Amino acid sequence: MSSQTQAEEAIASNYSETDQHERKEDTEENHSLFSVKSILWHGGSVWDAWFSCASNQVAQVLLTLPYSFSQLGMLSGILFQIFYGLVGSWTAYLISVLYIEYRSRKEKENVNFKNHVIQWFEVLDGLLGPYWKAVGLAFNCTFLLFGSVIQLIACASNIYYINDHMDKRTWTYIFGACCATTVFIPSFHNYRIWSFLGLGMTTYTAWYMAAAALIHGQTEGVTHSAPTKLVLYFTGATNILYTFGGHAVTVEIMHAMWKPQKFKYIYLMATLYVFTLTIPSATAVYWAFGDELLNHSNAFSLLPKNGFRDAAVILMLIHQFITFGFACTPLYFVWEKVIGMHDTKSICLRALARLPVVIPIWFLAIIFPFFGPINSAVGALLVSFTVYIIPSLAHMLTYRKASARQAAAEKPPHFMPSWTAMYVINSFVVVWVLVVGFGFGGWASVTNFVRQVDTFGLFAKCYQCKPAGPPAGAKPPHSL
């Protein structure tokens, strides 16, 4: 029997009592199709993981991809989406391999994961030591923190397109309170219905954008001059790198599965579906509006206001609530472990313990209401390492010795001829993302940030909103 098969059997046979109980409930569903609790709450299948990955991969960034196309040009925009989508799928695969390796080693040591969710920094700690744990924890938590803040600001920005009677800061107060309810969702195991709904909402919005742009047609005198400047080019490329770098929660999603060893290609399948949403919508909107998008980073600001657009805005708002939960849940787990509440079974006690995580995020969204200029900076400075560089380096170092490769719980995939080929691909990912993503992308995003710093205002009541009493026929400024 191979070591890989033994590892899979060890993991499968050592599920916690809770997992076994819930799997039994799933079996009973075959005899009770109307078990609402099981259908809506208990999700640990391959399909649940696929919905979680696809739903979490593209949210608010769907509305900024046409803006990226106006910086990159049509051809580069499409090619970068395909390239970073495939690279992101590869590093998600590496993370899944390292998770299986870590868990199989711990299972052999009779470690019990009952009421404990394994996280990425723990995988790094178990395989490479405390220094890697510190690096992984710092990058992951910072990225997820900014991701949560961005979702709150985006909610206020989007609802403002429907109702501008209240300023964005007031909307941020309201949506901060709404998003705080995610403290009651115990883990990714319980995101079944939300992931399903979230993907449906993203699908509607993407195809609405494509259809609305095609029906609208090209604006008079439309031009497609991109790419024109290196700063804009690499800023757009970094935004796409950020788009397909949404697997900072891969380990948590895997741990919620009944059989996490089946995760290997789920992220790739999710990415292929996401391509059917991002490429047609971004292409159609850029075709219709061209260079005008350079001053309108949110696609909603150019699409005609009607019931279909309002429906898309509302659906994206709900989806951003879901995405906030995805980004915050790993932070909840980290905080629970710090204060010793992670193994508490009471949902109410855990929710109360999690509130200190939500409150700072809420206030940060109020203090810094301008996520447009810092979005690409987060991608270049955080996503580059969290999602691409660290997993590739960790995989190479974990299997650097022949004995580790021989005893590996997961061997190279069938389409990969050898370990050497894996090292070549991993090295390419590290060098490319370090030079293009972090280097050029960081330079471009920081340059763009500095150029716009004079427009920032801490605690801005309504950042880049239309001025009071605009002249008739004047168009309000648009922003994210």
Q: What is the DSSP string of 42-64?
A: ---SHHHHHHHHHHHHSSGGGGT
Q: Which residues touch 218 (CB under 8 Å, ≥6 apart)?
A: 287, 288, 289, 290
Contacts of 86 (CB under 8 A, 6+ apart): 268, 271
Q: Write down the pLDDT at residue 389.
A: 95
Asked if residues 214 and 359 have their Cβ atoms less than 8 Å apart, the reply is no
Q: Contact, 70 vs 222, CB < 8 A?
A: no
Number of DSSP helices (H) and strands (E) in the chain, helices first: 20, 0
Q: Report whether 199 contacts 49 (CB < 8 A).
A: no
Dihedral through CA 466, CA 470, CA 475, CA 477, nearest 10?
-20
Query: What type of residue sits at position 234?
Result: F
pLDDT, residue 449, reads 74
Cα–Cα distance list, 202 to 245, 260, 277 (Å): 17, 26, 8
pTM score of the predicted model: 0.86
Cα–Cα separations (whole angstroms), residue 358 to 145, 186, 352, 363, 365: 10, 15, 11, 9, 11
DSSP annotation of 14: T
Could you read off the pLDDT tens digit of each residue along the chain, which spans 480 residues? 455 555 455 544 554 444 444 444 444 434 344 455 566 666 788 999 999 999 888 877 888 899 999 999 999 999 999 999 999 999 999 999 999 999 999 988 888 887 788 999 999 999 999 999 999 999 999 889 888 888 888 887 778 778 777 777 788 888 888 888 999 988 888 888 888 899 999 999 999 999 999 999 999 999 999 899 998 899 889 889 888 877 678 899 999 888 888 898 899 999 999 999 999 999 999 999 999 998 888 888 899 989 999 999 999 888 888 888 888 999 999 999 999 888 888 888 999 999 999 988 888 888 776 665 666 777 788 889 999 999 999 999 999 999 999 999 888 888 888 899 999 999 999 999 999 999 998 898 888 777 766 666 666 666 656 655 444 444 544 444
Six-digit token string for 325: 């939960």
Residue 384: DSSP 8-state? I
